[in-house]
């Protein structure tokens, strides 16, 4: 069974630009979540989607947005990039059951210059 696939693996962008990251969940998983990982703040929750609806959102500015498609694939978008947005962005998928663990992809490394 294929794992969570994130594309691209690496991105370099300039301040002020926008970026879109993509995530394909494990087959059969309908819940997709996104996390940001930085050396200073650690792992922080961005948002969770289920059946194309955002169920939960973390404490990030409105520049961070996402969506989920009918095939459960998800994208996240960051507009007006800032230097502080440089991070590893991790996508996770899970079954929509209360105690089901989240399975993570290898992430997209975003560098903002």
Partner 1 sequence: GDSVTQMEGPVTLSEEAFLTINCTYTATGYPSLFWYVQYPGEGLQLLLKATKADDKGSNKGFEATYRKETTSFHLEKGSVQVSDSAVYFCALLTSSGSARQLTFGSGTQLTVLP
Q: What residue ranges bind partner 1 (CB under 8 A)?
A: 4, 6, 31, 33, 35, 42-43, 45, 48, 50, 55-56, 58, 90, 92, 94, 96, 98-99, 101-107
Q: Nearest 5°: phi and psi at 65?
A: -140, 165
CB 109 within 8 A of CB 10: yes
* Cβ distance to partner 1 smaller for residue 15 or 43: 43
Give ∠ CA 33-109-54 in degrees, rounded to 5. Answer: 20
Q: How far is the CB of 77 from partner 1 (least distance, A)?
A: 20
Instruction: Tell me 100's DSSP state.
Output: P
Q: How far is the CB of 81 from partner 1 (least distance, A)?
A: 22
* Cβ distance to partner 1 smaller for residue 77 or 106: 106
């Amino acid at each position: 069974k294929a794992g969570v696939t994130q594309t691209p693996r690496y991105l370099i962008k300039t301040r002020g630009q926008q970026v879109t990251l993509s995530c394909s969940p494990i087959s059969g998983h309908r819940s997709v979540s996104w996390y940001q990982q930085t050396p200073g703040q650690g792992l922080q929750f961005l948002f969770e989607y289920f059946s194309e609806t955002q169920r939960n959102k973390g404490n990030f500015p409105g520049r961070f947005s996402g969506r989920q498609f009918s095939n459960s694939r998800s994208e996240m978008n960051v507009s007006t990039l800032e230097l502080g947005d440089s991070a590893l962005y991790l996508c996770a998928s899970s079954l929509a059951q209360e105690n089901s663990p989240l399975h993570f992809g290898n992430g997209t490394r975003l560098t903002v210059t």
